[in-house]
Structure 1
Amino acid sequence: MQVLVFAFFTLSAVLGLVQAQTAGTTTTTWDCCEPACGYTSNLSPGATGPVKSCNQNNGAASSGAQNACFSSGGDLAFSCSTYQPIIVNGTLSYGFAGHGNTATASCCKCYKFTWTSGAASGKSMIVQAINAGGITDNDFDIYTPGGGVGDYNACTAQYGAPSGGWGRQYGGVSSDAECSQLPSNLQAGCHWRWQWAGGDVNTWQITYNQVNCPSQLTSISGCTPAGI
């Protein structure tokens, strides 16, 4: 009887882990704006940061710099080129993403998702949330050069990009060959989408859960969330 009880609780625990997975989708973005998590007031409870922002040349932005998507001229803050995806191996990548509509609910937290559709089905990614707002709570807007500027565009100010960004305003470039339109320091992240993930990535289905952040991500962002 004790064995049966143990087996029951073990099975229940496994089922609980399965149920903890949440379904969502992925999209791509690269608007060059200062991330929302670059503001200390937006950090999730217990996080230490904020997320780093950069000047036009990808050096550290000054403390008084204004978000380049909402200001012009003078001292501006942009996204850093280091927020591109990082290939770990053939089935795992690290990266950064926008997640959720409320910054304080997600800023600096890390999540692991696995694609369940699209060319990357079965592959996984661990991302740190560095942006929020205008994104559903179940979706991840992966920071991908050439991934589309979306509603705001600071890439023209930072890199001289077309007024609507490279490629489509929402979704970005449509092929690996179009990555050649981007500045050389952003092309590796653009190629990641086509060469590692295998396609457009937008609207591909995932399951995900929150995880502790790898040091490789927090060392880039400068933000560490509370442990889970």
Structure 2
Amino acid sequence: MHSLKIITTLLGAIALVRGQTAGTTTTTWDCCEPACGYTSNLSAGARGPVRSCNKSNGPAAAGAQNACFTQGGQAFSCSSYQPIIISNTLSYGFAGHGNTATATCCKCYQFTWTSGAAAGKSMIVQAINAGGITDTDFDIYTPGGGVGDYNACTAQYGAPAQGWGRQYGGVTSDSQCSQLPSNLQAGCHWRWQWAGGDINNWQITYKQVNCPSQLTSISGCTPATI
């Protein structure tokens, strides 16, 4: 019976591992209107779309164009998409995930880092952006996380032409968070003070989960229940 219990335990552990998918994390804060801000991009059964904001972080006007793709556009990302600390080992947040918006928009995922300073810590994130991101990576919305290919932060906040810090990856230390507007600094400090480092290219395992109401109340988008 003792051997049978050991075998059963091992099989259960293997099943748990197989229920997770391996991936990596990166960071972003390009100030663009999220791709999931378009109703046509929502995943099946989702109710939304994801909220977008004006230059002052109020609700974007109906029909406002994405500031990253239209000169003079007035639809930006919202400052409320910064990470939220729940405990010493868990944070909530938002991320870009997947190359196809309709496959991921508004769905939530829980991941645990398996490398880097945050190894053993977890996040639950809601996908509010997609496109140009692999199906196993999460581009975490973190102020000072790098503007990447597009930059609306200059229009919204007067950021440098390549964003704060590196164009890809953003600031390189906690002290550089002081370069950001005061309303974004907490989310920038989160990366260094809670996660403990750069986050970019740290390894994770993840699975889809039902969204916490704290996230859907911020984004305005609720996915189909799993």
The TM tier, using the shorter chain, reads over 0.9
| Counterpart position of 2:34 | 35
- TM-score w.r.t. the length of structure 1 is 0.95
For the residue of structure 2 that corresponds to 1:66, the secondary structure is coil
Q: Which residue of 2 aligns with 1:16?
A: 15
Residue matched to 1:192: 190
Partner amino acid, structure 2, of 1:92: L
**1:127 corresponds to which residue?**
125
Q: How far is the alpha carbon of 1:205 from its aligned partner?
A: 0.4
Offset at residue 155 of structure 1 (A): 0.2
User: Is the alpha carbon distance of 1:5 and 1:63 closer, same or farther for their aligned partners in structure 2, counting shifts above 3 Å?
Assistant: farther
2:201 is aligned to 203
Between the aligned partners of 1:184 and 1:72, the Cα distance in structure 2 is 26
1:12 to partner: Cα distance? 4.5
CA RMSD of aligned residues (A): 1.8
Partner of 1:166: 164
Amino-acid identity (%):
81
How many aligned residue pairs are there? 226
Q: Which residue of 1 aligns with 2:58?
A: 59
Q: Which consecutive unaligned segments of at least 5 residues does structure 2 have? A: none
Whole-Å Cα distance in 2 between the matches of residues 129 and 102 of structure 1? 11
- The 5 Å alignment of 1:1-228 reads 12=11, 14-73=13-72, 76-228=74-226
- C-alpha distance in 2 between matches for 1:65 and 1:206: 36
**Which consecutive residues of structure 1, in runs of 5 or more, have no partner in the other structure?**
none
Letter in 2 for 1:22: T
Give 1:62 shift.
1.1
State the SS of the aligned residue for 1:185: helix
Distance 1:6 1:123 in 2: 29
TM-score, normalized by length of structure 2? 0.95
3-state secondary structure, aligned to 2:86: strand
CA distance in 1, matches of 2:5, 2:201: 41
Check 1:59–1:123 CA distance in 2 against 1; reply closer, same or farther (3 A cut): same
CA distance in 2, matches of 1:8, 1:205: 29
Looking at structure 2, the residues matched to 67 and 5 of structure 1 have their Cα atoms a distance apart, in angstroms, of: 59
- The one-letter code sitting in structure 2 at the alignment partner of 1:58 is N
